[in-house]
Amino acid sequence: MNARALSWLLLAAIFLAPGAALAQLTKVKLTLDWKFGGETAPFMMAKAKGYYEQEGLDVQVDAGSGSSASVGRVASGAYDFGLGDITTLIEFFSNNPGPTRLQAVYQLYQRAPFTIFTLKKTGITSAEQLNGKKVAAGPMESTRRVWPIAAPKMKLENPGIQWVSMDFALKDTALIRGDVDAMTAFEGSISNIYPLGVKPEDLVIFRFADYGVKLYGNAILANAKLINENPKAVAAFLRASNRAIKEAMLNPVEAVKYVKQREPLVHEAIEIDRFKITMRYLRPETQQDGLGSVNMQDLRAQVDDVTATLGLKNKVGAEVIFNPAFLPAKAERAVQ
């Protein structure tokens, strides 16, 4: 065999070797809004079942430290994608005028799953009774940040809540001990308290949405550099994620198994319950809307509310916040 033929054989061996296809994948990083759990099961499913790879992506999925913190991670370029809160994104744009650093590209929560909950033994049975009470919240927690919007609707402006800032991991214990009267949480996260001996029937839950608080919650955020330089990667990420979200909604038990693979210490039954609660917030208001979409009129109203309530100096356009250009086709985003 001559040298030229041998060279061709060596090249063929390289390209056909295991892992060669993987080398061609586009590497991107996703930060979740919190730890690995039922709320984010679809992203574990998409990675484990190879949906991202089928779209040409090698996705690194990392735990987060709060939906508000995700905005900063994506804006800085440390992550290509993140799960972050729309209200926090509005505030970020107002405080950082200039070139757009990131945008929401897929609306996960059609309504923000913000709640305050307490134990029945406190005797608190209505939101108004939270006036003057101690409520635990994380310092960067989006539920607390939007509180000024919810307060008048829940009749809690005077004297108002006494906020007690503490780490997320300490809130449940503080509530059980009686150090605080109530605590904030995404509704899907309420089940964190169950392993501490609290049962669902022991709780009183005040959902912001039940009081007419109409806010979009977490969305998939994309870094502007990736949007501009590799828009195909953004569209590919959304196709794979949307596929997994639909599949997970049809089979929450299977979806949570992939969370268990990533984080062996999670309690499967609790995480299944968590994702079933989350599903209520994922569903669009009408079948015509489809997963991942927003009503721009509603988003503009949210911008107005957030700008006025938080006293923001620079008002941002809804079109800057949410970019629908990369959404999968509407038929692909329909849910049963």
**Are the beta carbons of 185 and 137 closer than 8 angstroms?**
no
- In angstroms, rounded to a whole number, what is the distance separating the alpha carbons of residues 124 and 23? 58
Residue ranges of the alpha helices (H) in the chain? 3-16, 20-23, 41-48, 51-54, 67-76, 86-95, 142-145, 147-150, 168-177, 224-229, 231-250, 252-262, 268-282, 296-309, 318-321
- In angstroms, rounded to a whole number, what is the distance separating the alpha carbons of residues 97 and 47? 35
Burial grade of 14 (CB within 10 A; 0-12, 13-18, 19 or more): exposed
Regarding pTM above 0.85, the answer is: yes
**Are the beta carbons of 236 and 55 closer than 8 angstroms?**
yes
In order along its 336 residues, the chain shows pLDDT tens digits of 554 554 444 444 444 444 444 459 999 999 999 899 999 999 999 999 999 999 999 999 999 988 778 999 999 999 999 999 999 999 999 999 989 999 999 999 999 999 999 999 999 999 999 999 999 998 877 788 888 899 999 999 888 999 999 998 899 999 999 999 999 999 998 998 999 999 999 999 999 999 999 999 999 999 999 999 999 999 999 999 999 999 999 999 999 999 999 999 999 999 999 999 999 999 988 777 899 999 999 999 999 999 998 899 999 999 999 999 999 999 999 997
DSSP element (H, E) containing 80: none
**Are the beta carbons of 10 and 60 closer than 8 angstroms?**
no
Q: Which domains does the chain have, with CATH numbers?
A: 26-110+216-333 (3.40.190.10), 114-211 (3.40.190.10)
Please tell me the predicted confidence (pLDDT) of residue 227: 98
Which among 107, 190, 206, 219 is positioned nearest to 154, based on CA atoms? 206
Q: Is the dihedral of CA 37, 39, 42, 43 positive or negative?
A: negative
CA angle 39, 46, 113 (to 5 degrees): 20
Token digits for 117?
């909950």
**HSE of 202, CA atoms in CB hemisphere, 13 A:** 14
